[in-house]
Structure formats: structure tokens, C-alpha cells
A = this chain, B = another copy of it.
Amino acid sequence: MQKDFELLARDQYSKARHGRLKTAHGVIDTPTFMPVGTQGSVKGVSPRELRELNAQIILGNTYHLFVRPGLEVIKHLGGLHNFMSWNGPILTDSGGFQIFSLAKLRKITDEGVEFQNHIDGARAFISPEIAMEIQAALGSDIAMVLDECVPYPCEYDYAARSAELTTRWAKRCREWKLRNGETAKRGVTDSAVRRFADSVLFGIVQGGTFEDLRRASAQAMVELGFDGYAIGGVSVGEPEEEMMRAIESAEPFLPADRPRYAMGLGTPPQLLEMIARGMDMFDCVLPTRLARNGTAFTTTGTLNLKNAEFAMDKRPIEENCACSACREFTRGYIRHLIKAEEILGLRLITLHNLHSYLNLMSRARAEIERGTFDQFRKAFVAEYKTRDAIIAG
């Protein structure tokens, strides 16, 4: 089941790695940041802008797309890549996280999870097999197993039972994919499943904030054997040291030759800390979500462009930034746009923020190659000031 992941460089002072992951829709250089395209669109930006930002992969949310516009529409319009006119790689989550955070009246059994969606309250049922079918229909390049993501805080016993359920579900996802990959090779299933045979499947480590559960979950996933490993259930409200500990508890048990994906985080310093702890892939809504509120990310911290101090500011969001917003527009103008609720304002900050995250990954890769990543990380983290309260998620 192993696919094309290649390690190109490793940092000698930390666990940072620089690698390359090949998918059906193109190559991804790791560490990588995946802009989040929740509903078939990375909020505020076009596919052309994503290409100009050099985004190599984006994320699609299975739950959202399943609820609206629904699978029939996306299948009819040629799968998620064609639907949204993005021909690069797409990673899809399994829908689990959103079922547990957005949907109502959930009923979890070993079989799967029944829920009412948050849009029109319609009932639906998703099992591990159905989660795979949906991701196959979407045409995902990197699919995720169905998992249960426990909240923070969470009792030990519940976290333990939940991690075991996630393992059983992961096994069924893996089997579905093997079975349907084989069928596809014999040429009897539809084109979405056939393409899906070329995709890769990641297991997800759960276990809350408990070291032994994280270790056991990692070991169980590795025993099943996946193309890559995600660490889920982080950045769900726990203190940052708990988040780091969850990663540190699981990482030593993950094979070095497979990509590791730390799900749903974080701030720029957190990303560098995660890279130092051996993580390769990230997704986070912060750059797009905070942009809509007027907050810009810079290499020295966040700026709330709504603040009056920026009204007359002739500088770009960030000096020497190569993004299209910084090349052409002043803070004063962007502040005006945000205050006046003009769409262009959030578009420009979104472009800058995505550039900032993607550029940080590119910088991290270069520093790892050069053997200077650890110095870079320490200097960056020391310089960085979070000037406004930020909640990741």
C-alpha cells in the first residue's frame, strides 16, 4: 500500500524533515501547508489565485460537501477537482470532525454515526465504508479514515474507548479501499472508484491528552499500515503544551518513511514547533478566517488592520512581502476596505495570510535543507508576538 513519499533532508538538531509526496494530481513538497477549501472553495480566493500563491495542495471538507451541494451534484459535475476547477492535489477529511463539531443529535455506534446536518437538519448516516465511498466519489488524492475526535477536556475512559473505536473504523476504511482498489483493477467499478485506487489513505491517531493512549493509538494505526499518519484531536481547545505533548507521545511510533499530518493547526510558531517535532503536513482555517476579521499574519506577529493606527499608514501589510496585496496596496487602504465591509479588503488580507503561511513552509524547507532549521525556528518563535487573541480550529 506504500506510495511515493521520499525524504530529501533531515535536520540534525530537531526531528524536522523535508520530503516530497507524489499524488495523482501532482507533487507536494513537505513541510506543506494546505489551504482549507471547506465548501469547494478556499474562502475568498479563486483557484487561479491559489496557483499564483504556489499552493501545492488544498483540503476539502467531506461533511460540508456531503451536506451541500451533495454527492450527486459533485459526481455529475465531474468530481471535486472539476467541480471547483482545481487540478492540483486535494486531501479530503473523513467528515468525522465536522459531524462531531457541527452536526446535531449524533448517535455513535460501532457501525457508524447517525446525525442531523446543521443546514436543513436532514438525517444521515456515515459509516467507515460510506466515508470512503464519499471520498472516492469526490476524487480525493489523499483520503482520511473516519475517526471520532473527542473534545477537550475528556475523561480517560472515554478517550480510550473512542481511540479503540477509531482503530476499528480505520481497519474497515483500509479494507474498503483494498477491496475496491482490487475491484477497480479488474475494471468493474465506476471511474471515481477507479481513480480512487491511485489515491493514498491516511490513518488518524487519537487518544486525547493521554500519553499512553496516544502511543497505543499510533501503534495500532501503524500495525494496520497506512500511506501516511495524521494526528487528530489536537487544537481542540487544549493548552499549547498539551498539544505538543500529544504530538510528542505519538510521533516516535510513526514510521519515518511515511508523511505525518498534524490536523487543524495552528499559528505560525506552532507550525514550526510541529515541524521540529517531525510533522510534515498542516491545514488551518486561521489565515482565511482571521483575514475576514481584518487580522493579518506577519513574520513578527499578527496585525489587526481595523485599528485606527493604520488609517494613514502608507506601508504594505508587511515590508518586503512578495504577495500581490503587499505589492500594490497600503495598510491604510486595506483598513478602509475592512471598515467599509468591502469584499476586496478580506480578499487582500486572505491572499497575504495564505502567502505568509505558504512562504513559511517554503522557508522551513530551505532551512532544513541548509541545516539551519533549528536556529531559524528559535529566532522566529522568539520574534513572534500574537497581538490579538486567536482561537485555532
Asked whether A44 lies within 8 Å of B76 as measured between CB atoms, the reply is no
Q: Closest chain B residue to A342 by CB distance?
A: B41
Asked whether A336 lies within 8 Å of B73 as measured between CB atoms, the reply is yes
Interface hit among A25-33, A225-233, A265-273, A325-333: A325-333
For the complex, what is the distance from the CA of A63 to the CA of B40, rounded to whole Å? Answer: 38
Q: Which of A328-363 contact B (CB under 8 A)?
A: 328-330, 332-333, 335-337, 339-340, 342-348
Taking the complex as formed, is A83 at the interface, i.e. its CB lies under 8 A from any CB of chain B? yes
Asked whether A85 lies within 8 Å of B329 as measured between CB atoms, the reply is yes
For the complex, what is the distance from the CA of A348 to the CA of B47, rounded to whole Å? Answer: 12
Asked whether A40 lies within 8 Å of B77 as measured between CB atoms, the reply is no
For the complex, what is the distance from the CA of A77 to the CA of B332, rounded to whole Å? Answer: 8
Asked whether A46 lies within 8 Å of B344 as measured between CB atoms, the reply is yes
Please give, as numbers and ranges, the residues of chain B lying within 8 Å of A85 by CB-CB distance.
328-329, 333
Please give, as numbers and ranges, the residues of chain B lying within 8 Å of A45 by CB-CB distance.
344
Taking the complex as formed, is A252 at the interface, i.e. its CB lies under 8 A from any CB of chain B? no
Please give, as numbers and ranges, the residues of chain B lying within 8 Å of A260 by CB-CB distance.
none
Taking the complex as formed, is A311 at the interface, i.e. its CB lies under 8 A from any CB of chain B? yes
Please give, as numbers and ranges, the residues of chain B lying within 8 Å of A348 by CB-CB distance.
46
For the complex, what is the distance from the CA of A8 to the CA of B83, rounded to whole Å? Answer: 46
Number of copies: 2
Please give, as numbers and ranges, the residues of chain B lying within 8 Å of A340 by CB-CB distance.
39-41, 68-69
For the complex, what is the distance from the CA of A344 to the CA of B76, rounded to whole Å? Answer: 21
For the complex, what is the distance from the CA of A361 to the CA of B76, rounded to whole Å? Answer: 36
Asked whether B343 lies within 8 Å of A69 as measured between CB atoms, the reply is no
Taking the complex as formed, is A215 at the interface, i.e. its CB lies under 8 A from any CB of chain B? no
Asked whether A333 lies within 8 Å of B39 as measured between CB atoms, the reply is no
Q: Which of A31-83 contact B (CB under 8 A)?
A: 39-41, 43-48, 68-69, 72-73, 76-77, 83
Taking the complex as formed, is A102 at the interface, i.e. its CB lies under 8 A from any CB of chain B? no
Taking the complex as formed, is A366 at the interface, i.e. its CB lies under 8 A from any CB of chain B? no
Taking the complex as formed, is A303 at the interface, i.e. its CB lies under 8 A from any CB of chain B? no
Q: How far is the CB of A70 from chain B (nearest CB, A)?
A: 9
Q: Which of A185-234 contact B (CB under 8 A)?
A: none
Chain A interface residues (CB < 8 Å from chain B):
39-41, 43-48, 68-69, 72-73, 76-77, 83-85, 311-312, 314, 324, 328-330, 332-333, 335-337, 339-340, 342-348
Which 9 A-B pairs give the minimum distances between C-beta atoms? A69-B336, A41-B342, A39-B340, A41-B344, A76-B312, A85-B328, A44-B343, A77-B332, A83-B333
